[in-house]
Amino acid sequence: MTSLYHILDKKPTLYKDDTEIEYEALAKQLADSGRLRIDTDYYCNFARYTDSNANINFIFSKKELTDPELIESVRTDIRLFYKAKGRSVAEQQIDHVINALQKQIKKLLDVDEELKMRLARVFVQSAHPIAIRWILHDRAQVFITYSHNIGDLMDIKSWKTSGSNSGMQSTESRRVCIYVSCGGDPFADNNENHPTYGDGWAALARMQIIAAQEIGHFADIERDIDGVYITRHSANFACTAPTKVTTDARKADLKKCKNSHQYFLPNGMLSLLKEEEKLRFYHTQKVTGLRVLGVKIMILIYRHKFLKFAKKHNLYFVQRFKKERYMGILINAMFLDMQANVDPQADVYKRGDPLAQEAISCAEALARVPQQVIKWGYLTTRAVTPELYKLYYKEVMPSLIYSYNKMNNTNYKRKFKYPYSNYSWHKKILYFMRSFLKSKNKIKLQEVRDVD
């Protein structure tokens, strides 16, 4: 079982006029905070300084190093980094560090504002807005790289242990970090030979999927009413012991996912799957003729039977796959992908202690709920892994909202409005006419809906 990284339930919006007002505001806050670090292999907006004597690695963005309103926060962070290592630092030394970083930043090709905002929009749309609000509150560093792994964003010490990862989040002291790799340029044309990885749609999907998972880990942290970290919902903070509720949810969902898959296969999906695999082979080899027509007819028959079975048993999420070219292949891939994420098996998650092993599995499985929602949608994720879904959206998210409201003395409610939501009918017509004219210059996302 392997996890898929090129499937998205819906396309993220890239432009202000198309984006929900709440998400656009959060993207703007993230970009303006200076905490968004971007490396496109060509453009880069952050500089790194290493003090080997103190075993400290500083990374700050160009905005932090040049904006007068942010430079004092840089000085504060440097003081706290040294304090965390049990060292004091003179103001003169802080000036030296900042000057060295500013000299370095001048040599880099900066990321332009439009690209920064597009990446910020994609990132914030990867999670529930309340999780993004906490990222902003905690001044988390958000790293986005076009590379296939996160090694080029990290200091040497971290790179040795985590550099080959696709994503990661860290909650060490004030250095809360979320690392996301795209594996290519999200806004370039698709790779024609291998559209499921590399530039284009594959990189865009990979970015959202990895971001959703890493933000999921960040959201898993339980806070008190002052925003102070207490523990995790999935396990203890050290991830050496799981919570019973997450263990029970994970095991129940793994069993349900496997049973549902086995239930589907003899009830029409296996026959549909075999015919679709034949048709995909014929399409790949550019075969035409009566035998291809015969396979297409059989697929129509099996699709009808399978959809009738799904409707009879109230399996509403199957309707989500009706539009797919290879419906059976994608549903089969979905079940395998769900199992891979409920029960992750990579070597990096292995532990000698069975209890610690289960704690890691629980933390990973719970954090991957929003990732699966990004891939397969709310309806499918809730139907196939209901217990983890309920735990994440009925416990974790409300917990974040409760702590946020208490800390800020507010009453946060999710908003789904778009820029045109309050327009009168004639203003809406003018808005959509302008959007249509602008669409010619917009990036076209060429979605890929096939699996190997």
Return the closest-CA partner of residue 182 out of 197, 162, 164, 161: 197
User: How many CB atoms neighbour CB 263 within 10 A?
Assistant: 13
Categorise residue 377: left if φ over 0, alpha if ψ from -120 to 50, beta otherwise.
left
pLDDT at position 156 is 36
Radius of gyration of the chain (CA): 24
Q: Sort 224 into a burial class: Cβ within 10 Å, 0-12 / 13-18 / 19+.
A: exposed
pTM confidence score: 0.91
Q: How far apart are CA 45 and CA 43, in angstroms?
A: 7
Q: Where are the domains of the chain?
A: 244-392
pLDDT at position 111 is 95
Name the one residue in this structure whose structure tokens are 């202000």.
16
Looking only at the bridges linking them, the beta strands covering 167-172 and 175-181 are antiparallel
Element (H, E) at 388: helix 386-391
Looking only at the bridges linking them, the beta strands covering 141-145 and 36-39 are parallel
pLDDT at position 155 is 46
- Token pair for 413: 């409610």
Residues 367, 371, 377, 381: what is their CA dihedral angle, to the nearest 10 degrees? -40
To 5 degrees, how large is the angle CA 333–CA 339–CA 344? 120
- Token pair for 227: 């925003």
How many Cα atoms are found within 13 Å in the side-chain-facing hemisphere of 106? 6
3-state SS class at 308: helix
pLDDT at position 152 is 52
The answer to whether 70 and 64 are in contact (CB under 8 A) is yes
Residues 6 or more apart whose CB falls under 8 angstroms from that of 406 comprise 225
- pLDDT tens string for the chain (452 positions)? 578 999 999 999 999 989 999 999 999 999 999 999 999 989 999 999 999 888 888 899 999 999 999 999 999 999 998 998 889 899 999 999 999 999 999 999 999 999 999 999 999 999 999 999 999 999 999 999 999 876 555 443 443 344 345 544 554 444 689 999 999 999 999 988 888 889 999 999 999 999 999 999 999 999 999 999 999 999 998 899 999 999 999 999 999 999 999 999 999 999 999 999 999 999 989 999 999 999 999 999 999 999 999 999 999 999 989 999 999 999 999 999 999 999 988 777 788 888 999 999 999 999 999 999 999 999 999 999 999 999 999 999 999 999 999 999 999 999 899 888 877 877 778 877 777 667 767 888 889 888 87
